[in-house]
Amino acid sequence: MEIVWFKRDLRVHDHAPLTAAAAAASGRPVLPLYIIEPSLWAQADMSGRQFAFLAETLADLDRSLAARGARLVVRVGEAVAVLDELHKAHGVHAVHAHEETGNLWSFARDRAVRRWARGAGVGVHEVRQHGVWRALDNRNDWAARWDAMMAAPRLPAPAAIRCADVPSDAMPDAAALGLADDPCPGRQRGGRREGLALLKGFFESRGRRYRAAMSAPESGAAHCSRLSPHLAQGSISMREAYQAALAARLRWRAADDAMFVRAIDSFVSRLHWHCHFIQKLEDAPWLEARCLHPAYDGVHENEGAALSAWAGGMTGWPFVDACMRSLAATGWLNFRMRAMVMSVASHHLRLDWRQTGAVLARMFTDYEPGIHWAQVQMQSGTTGTNIPRIYNPVKQGHDQDANGDFIRRWVPELAGLATPWLHEPWKAPPELRGDLGYPGPIADHEVAARAARAAIAGIRRDPAHAPPACAILVKHGSRKAGLPDANRRRGKPASGQRELDL
């Protein structure tokens, strides 16, 4: 039989491996397979909310396959063992799959599967899903190749699939995989139908205010596309999102709606950057474990109480805490605030980015390893090439939540405090503070920021810093991707900072 191994590509539309398997079968049945791998769910970046979103997406995929005469077979076990068992019981001609750029664990898993396939005489056919190229020598012409791939016609879903008669395992729950209880009442629901509804709503109305609204957490939640978890699990393809954006741009341009056209242009640029950052992890699979620039190893040393306070939204900096509590309850946060909470953890609290990066990964329903770990390092100042972004947590609150509505919603201990004191409650007169049940600031953010800047400046002054930084820029720098640098257009220093609010 031909196996279609679904991983993070959970759809039947625009799915090259499924199309190829159905066409190549020549009388052989096709087995649509998803493997729930206990070792994957034991990794530090995986969580119950991600599994819940996955389970809903798998159920939707099964319905789509059923409409074409097939069913999704779910097996629980490690990939090599599952594939070997299927081969011995039924005979596998080939495994069809998309290339995946995931965490280090999935990188090692895919290598093990290819070794097994060579030994078993089973073909493995992997094709590109995103605009990410395997074994890329350099970024020359990267953007042109991305544009060509995204402009290619989308593949229709197969009209009918001759499905192999293979039983499915029972779907486990999160507890059976050892995942901790993970309540997330505001979590987005999984499944292609949910993703298509978001896509439609964004291009019909919600997206008009995208450019103006994306920076603030409250407005960003309403006016960003919210497609990120669906792109991460592949219930919608990147090409679908791109082509839907171009079609919407034509409609709104014909309607003379310049505001909507500019919003869609910004969205399209972020689709490019989505793949640009995943390409970084593809080229450096160890990115979640080691500093991109080795000079920064050991810079972040704190742990324990500071880590718990930050993760639990109890730093005493109201806007930071509101963002962390909102993320815990919804599984989503706009990009600027993701950058801020990571910057605060790394610079103000000197926490190890590997620990805090794993905390955030678990909290993000839309966790995409390629974007996540590249951004974690960028916001932590460990790339050696980007201008350090050390956010002022109080200023960000004033800028993005001037009236304090977001803080009052997520830090109810401060709801009764007058707006002038809301962002810095420690400065309020004692008779106004009363017994709020809210901690004082974990540190003086201005003193901590100065110390972080001094530490980074000291590292960069070392003559040994420059050669690795130049090599990193050549290999990973966006200028090699052929993409526009918005900071340069505005006459600002090139920082590599990017907004990725999908």
| DSSP β-bridge partners for residue 127 | 98
Q: Identify the pLDDT of residue 24.
A: 78
* CATH class as words, domain 2-129: alpha beta
Q: From CA 90, how far away is CA 28, in angstroms rounded? A: 11
Read off the pLDDT band of 502 (50, 70, 90).
low
How much is the average pLDDT of 171-195? 97
All CATH 1.10.579.10 domain ranges of the chain, comma separated, are 294-476
pLDDT tops 50 at residue 58: yes
Q: Which of 267-281, 297-311, 331-345 has the lowest mean pLDDT?
A: 297-311
Q: From CA 243, how far away is CA 23, in angstroms rounded? A: 25
Q: From CA 493, how far away is CA 436, in angstroms rounded? A: 42
Chain-centroid distance of CA 362 in Å reads 11
Q: What is the pTM of this model?
A: 0.93
425, 408 in Cβ contact below 8 A?
no
How many Cβ atoms sit within 10 Å of the Cβ of residue 126?
18
Q: From CA 286, how far away is CA 247, in angstroms rounded? A: 38
Contacts of 22 (CB under 8 A, 6+ apart): 2, 30, 158, 161, 162
Q: Identify the pLDDT of residue 439.
A: 95
Tens digit of pLDDT for each residue in 199-227? 999 999 999 999 999 999 999 999 999 99
Q: Identify the pLDDT of residue 130.
A: 93
Is 109 or 483 the better-scoring residue by pLDDT? Answer: 109
Q: Identify the pLDDT of residue 435.
A: 82
Tens digit of pLDDT for each residue in 346-383? 999 999 999 999 999 999 999 999 999 999 999 999 98
pLDDT tops 80 at residue 501: no
pLDDT tops 60 at residue 496: no
Instruction: Using the structure block, give the residue that is written with the tokens 């590109």.
Output: 128
Task: Find, among 258, 349, 273, 252, the residue nearest to 305 by Cα.
Answer: 349
Look up residue 236 and give its DSSP letter. Answer: S
Q: Identify the pLDDT of residue 384.
A: 87
Q: Identify the pLDDT of residue 154.
A: 97
Instruction: Using the structure block, give the residue that is written with the tokens 């972040």.
Output: 300
pLDDT tops 60 at residue 179: yes
Q: Identify the pLDDT of residue 410.
A: 98
Q: From CA 32, how far away is CA 68, in angstroms rounded? A: 12
Helix intervals (H) in 331-429: 335-343, 353-363, 369-380, 393-400, 405-410, 419-422
Helix intervals (H) in 255-301: 258-283
pLDDT tops 80 at residue 332: yes
Q: Identify the pLDDT of residue 500.
A: 52
How much is the average pLDDT of 318-337? 98
Domain 294-476 CATH assignment equals 1.10.579.10? yes
Q: Which of 83-97, 297-311, 323-337 has the lowest mean pLDDT?
A: 297-311
Q: Identify the pLDDT of residue 101.
A: 97
- Point out the annotated binding site for FAD: 210, 267
Q: Identify the pLDDT of residue 473.
A: 81
Q: From CA 391, how far away is CA 378, in angstroms rounded? A: 13
CATH architecture classification, 192-283: Alpha Horseshoe (1.25)
pLDDT tops 50 at residue 448: yes
Tens digit of pLDDT for each residue in 416-439? 999 989 999 999 998 887 788 999
Read off the pLDDT band of 489 (50, 70, 90).
very low
How far is the CA of 212 from the CAs of 216, 336, 495, in angstroms? 9, 13, 21
All CATH 3.40.50.620 domain ranges of the chain, comma separated, are 2-129
- Point out the annotated binding site: 210, 267
Is 223 or 136 the better-scoring residue by pLDDT? Answer: 223
Are β-strands 2-6 and 30-36 bridged in parallel, bridged antiparallel, or unpaired?
A: parallel
Read off the pLDDT band of 492 (50, 70, 90).
very low
Tens digit of pLDDT for each residue in 10-51? 999 999 999 999 987 667 999 999 999 999 999 999 999 999
* Most confident listed range (131-145, 302-316, 332-346): 332-346
Instruction: Using the structure block, give the residue that is written with the tokens 């119950």.
Output: 48
Is 398 or 420 the better-scoring residue by pLDDT? Answer: 398
Rounded to the nearest integer, the mean pLDDT of the chain is 92
Indicate the burial class of 209 (C-beta count within 10 angstroms; 0-12, 13-18, 19 or more).
Answer: middle
Q: Identify the pLDDT of residue 277.
A: 94
How much is the average pLDDT of 442-450? 96
Q: Identify the pLDDT of residue 365.
A: 98
Q: What is the 3-state secondary structure (H, E, C) of 332-346?
A: CCCHHHHHHHHHHHH
339, 388 in Cβ contact below 8 A?
no
pLDDT tops 70 at residue 56: yes
pLDDT tops 50 at residue 498: no
Q: From CA 177, how far away is CA 492, in angstroms rounded? A: 48
